[in-house]
Each structure stands twice: as structure tokens, then as C-alpha cells.
Amino acid sequence: MVAIRPIALLLASALLSLSSSGRAGPPAAQLEDNLTHSRDTSLFAQSAAEAFNRDFPSGDISFFLLDASTGRVVASRWDHPDIPIPMGSLFKPFTALAYGEQHEFQYPVHTCRGAATGCWLPRGHGRMNLTSAIAQSCNSYFRMLTADLSSSDVAPAAVRFGLDPPPETAAGAQLAGLGNGWRTSPLRMARAYLALAHGRDQPAVSQILDGMAESARYGTAAAVHRALPSHDALAKTGTAACTHVHRGPGDGFAVVLTPADHPQLLLLVRVHGVPGSHAAQTAARMLHRIED
């Protein structure tokens, strides 16, 4: 009787809807399926939260785990999640879309020469297109891409994906997340990546998602594939100035969506005092833990 009662209440609600609107509500079988899904999701959320807090208790680790189909937060540990913070190269996909809107979605090929062209990799990445630049988070490529962009060029794409826009004074590489100027809240960033994953049919998005898939396999987030070899994933890393009370050399960020073709989960992780590639290692271990 305990299991039947909520179903009966939902059926009553559906019948009331039918009488008032003339349209039939969901059938009883669908309502029961919805309730089962809700119970399963709640159990998973509780299990994931317990696993993360038990196995990854460090205060240096902040995270959001989202249901990718609904955007609902499944588990989280992040102090002041609504305060905008710098998130480094996590901005790059949205900068790329803004550039595309200004250039008929035609993206150049660029040769990264490492330190000589302002990249984080001293020896350079060599020839880069948009997809490989996303996979390797190539600063040189994005310095080239943003050289002639202004804040007003990038703001519409940012706002469309739910991000805080870059400041009006931002220019050049700041528009690719380099430096501290462009900030957004962690939850906004997580949901922007959900919107990106759901927009595969939009111009240039498939190239960006291909780059995120390559990142998870052998790019800056290659730890994801090592931890989840049987699962394809989408991933992007970033490194930004530390915003903790006890300052570190920087904070690493990683966003991972799995599975790649139809994401069910999104995990956004920040790790204090490490680069983004190390944050990807933590994210990979966390996802491996809840898939055991």
C-alpha cells in the first residue's frame, strides 16, 4: 500500500487535469515509470554524495555532479558556488563559438611554437586546428583566435550559454580565459557545458565536442580514458588564478561528460594548487569510483 499511494495521488492529479483542460494526462504506466526514475535518481545521488565525501574528503577538492538530461545537481561540495571566479581555459569553447559567429564559422590553422607564441607547452604543439586546439588546450591557438576580438564580440555567445559575459575592458587572450578578468560562477559554467553538449547540430559545436572527446582520450584530460577505458567521454581542462583564502600557485579545473554520444552525467571539479591536467586525474578517479 505504501508504494501505491503516491501513484494514486498522481493519477488523481492527472484526472483533475483532464477534467479542467480537456486533455488527457500521462498514462498510469508512465507515471509509475517517472516515480521509479525519481527514486532511482535519489538513491544514486545519495550514493554518489556518500562516495565522494568518503573517498575524496580533501577540502582542496570542490565539485558539482549534474544529471546531464535535466541539469539537476546530483551531488556537490563547493563553497560559495554562486560567486564568479576565473576558470581559465574552460572558457575556450565559448570563445571559439563567438569567433565563428564573426567569421562565418571558418577557423584557421595555426602553428603553435610554444613559449615563442605564448603557449603553456614550451616546445609547442605544432600545427593546430580548432579541434586539436581544444583537445590540447593550446594557448597559442587561442591567442591567435582572439587577437582581433572585443568583449562585445564574445558577450552574446557567453550570455546565450548562460555564462557571465566578459568585462567590457577584456580583450585578446583574456577572452579565452587567460588571466583573471573573465569570471563566472561554477554552476553557470557546468550548465553551459550541458547546453554545449546538447547543441551538437549547431555550427562548429561538433568540432568543439570532437576536441573534447580527443582531450579525454589523449589530450590534457587523458587521465579520463585511462580511468574509464570502456567509456568514451567529453572533457575540458583549465587552470586559473587561485581564489582560495590560502593562496596557491593556481587552481585546476576539469569538466567531464559521460558517455560522449549521449551524456548522462557531468562532473565539474576544481583542485586547489594544481594545473587542469591534475584536476582531470581527480575527476577521472571520482567517476571511476561511482561506476564501480
Q: What is the DSSP string of 116-169?
A: GGT-SSTT--EEE-HHHHHHHT-HHHHHHHHTT-BHHHHHHHHHHTTPPPPPTT
Q: Which residues pair with 62 in a beta bridge?
A: 270
Measured CA to CA, the distance from residue 163 to residue 95 in angstroms comes to 11
Does 118 map to a domain?
A: yes
Rounded to an integer, the average pLDDT of 247-263 is: 92
Across the range 191-214, mean pLDDT stands at 96
Instruction: Examine residue 9 and state whether it is found in any structural domain, yes or no.
Output: no
Question: Residue 55 half-sphere exposure, CB side, CA atoms within 13 Å?
Answer: 15
Task: Tell me whether residue 151 is in a domain.
Answer: yes
Q: What is the pLDDT of residue 44?
A: 75
Domain that holds residue 237: 60-291
The percentage of the chain sitting over the pLDDT mark of 70, rounded to a whole number, equals: 85
Residue 33 located in a structural domain: no
Say what the pLDDT of residue 162 is. 97
Q: Is 7 among the domain residues?
A: no
**Total domains, the chain:** 1
SS3 51: helix
Q: What is the mean pLDDT of residues 90-107?
A: 97
- Compare 12 and 49 and report the one with higher pLDDT: 49
Tell me the C-alpha to C-alpha distance, in Å, between residue 258 and each of 29, 38, 207, 243: 29, 20, 17, 28
Judge whether residue 205 has pLDDT over 90.
yes
- pLDDT tier, 36 (very low <50, low <70, confident <90, very high otherwise): very low
Mean pLDDT across 19-31: 45
> For the residues of 258-275, what is the DSSP string, one character each?
ESSSS--EEEEEEEETS-
Contact 143, 112 (CB under 8 A): no
Q: And the C-alpha cell for 96?
A: 571559439
Q: Is residue 12 part of a domain?
A: no
What pTM value is reported for the model?
Answer: 0.84
Position 178 pLDDT exceeds 60:
yes
Q: Would you say residue 273 has pLDDT above 90?
A: yes
In this structure, is residue 272 part of a structural domain? yes
Give me the residue label for grid cell 594548487. Answer: 273
Amino acid found at 285: R
Q: Are 73 and 49 in contact (CB under 8 A)?
A: no
CATH number at residue 194: 3.40.710.10
pLDDT at 249: 79
| Cβ atoms within 10 Å of 123's Cβ, excluding its own | 10
Q: What are phi and psi of 59, to 5 degrees?
A: -70, -10
Handedness of CA 81, 85, 90, 91 (dihedral sign): positive
Residue 40 placed within a domain: no
Statement: residue 9 has pLDDT above 90:
no
Q: How far apart are CA 77 and CA 220, in angstroms?
A: 24
Strand partners, 257: 234, 266
Cα 13 to Cα 215: distance, rounded to the nearest angstrom: 47
Residues 6+ away with beta carbon under 8 Å from 210: 131, 134
